[in-house]
Amino acid sequence: MYIDKIIQVMKNDFPLFKNMELYEFYDQLSDDELNYILSGIFGEPVKKKGGSIYNQNGNQIYSEDSDGYWRKREYDDNGNGIYYESSSGWYKKEYDNNGRLIYYEDSDGIWKKFEYDDNGNEIYFEDSYGYWMKKEYNDIGRLIYRENSFGVEYDRRWKGLLKKY
């Protein structure tokens, strides 16, 4: 478990806690004490709220319910969720510099890739099932062409929609 790993690190780094049990120790700490100790481990301040731990930006990084189901999350510098792991599996995501999703992968072997033009329009999509889609847009952002792995679905390039009105 994630908390077990934290306690193990604390037992190694803080001999004072060596003989304390996991839940006794965790429950005895005030939020400020827990914040101080975990900030040394995570390198950032964290807050304990119920069965959850939050980072300095208020994003939940760990939670566990009474049935033992746990969830762990990681975020990039922009607050985008980049990794999620739970008792039942995981997924990871990658984003471009503009915060747009460009890659997704999960523990079931499913993946998806996305590409965007300079205006932020999705121009390409592909997934692990072999499905893909290409799109084109005119100067004002209107969809003028769409083709996917089944064939051309939409083609308005010939209608002169490339000029601005």
pLDDT (tens digit per residue) in 41-78? 655 555 565 678 888 888 889 988 888 889 999 999 99
> 94 and 54 share a domain?
no
Per-chain mean pLDDT for the chain: 80
**69 domain residue, yes or no:** no
Show which of 15, 31, 64 is a domain's final residue. Answer: 64
Report phi then psi at 97, rounded to 5: -65, -15
pLDDT in tens, 119-159: 999 999 999 999 999 999 998 999 999 999 999 989 988 76
The answer to whether residue 4 scores a pLDDT higher than 90 is no
**71 domain residue, yes or no:** no
**77 domain residue, yes or no:** no
With residues binned 3-state (H G I as helix, E B as strand, rest as coil), the percentages for the chain, rounded to 5, are 20, 40, 40
CB-based contacts of 21, cutoff 8 Å, min separation 6 = none
Tokens matching residue 39:
């900030």
> 165 and 92 share a domain?
yes
**155 domain residue, yes or no:** yes
**Do the beta carbons of residue 113 and residue 103 sit within 8 Å?**
yes
> 162 and 95 share a domain?
yes
**Do the beta carbons of residue 74 and residue 66 sit within 8 Å?**
no
Place of tokens 């997924």: 91
Which amino acid is located at 17 in the chain? Answer: F
Q: How confident is the model at residue 31 (pLDDT cuts 50, 70, 90)?
A: low
> 100 and 164 share a domain?
yes
Residue 15 pLDDT:
44
User: Exposed e or buried b for every residue in 55-74, given b needs 16+ CB within 10 A?
Assistant: beeeebbbbbeeeeebbbbe
Domain count of the fold of the chain = 2
The residue range of the domain holding 147 is 88-165
**Torsion angle (degrees, nearest 10) of CA 19, 22, 24, 29:** 100
Predicted TM-score (pTM) of the model is 0.66
> 95 and 59 share a domain?
no
> 55 and 113 share a domain?
no
> 1 and 57 share a domain?
yes
Q: How confident is the model at residue 118 (pLDDT cuts 50, 70, 90)?
A: very high
**82 domain residue, yes or no:** no
Residue 64 pLDDT:
87
> 101 and 59 share a domain?
no
**93 domain residue, yes or no:** yes
**130 domain residue, yes or no:** yes
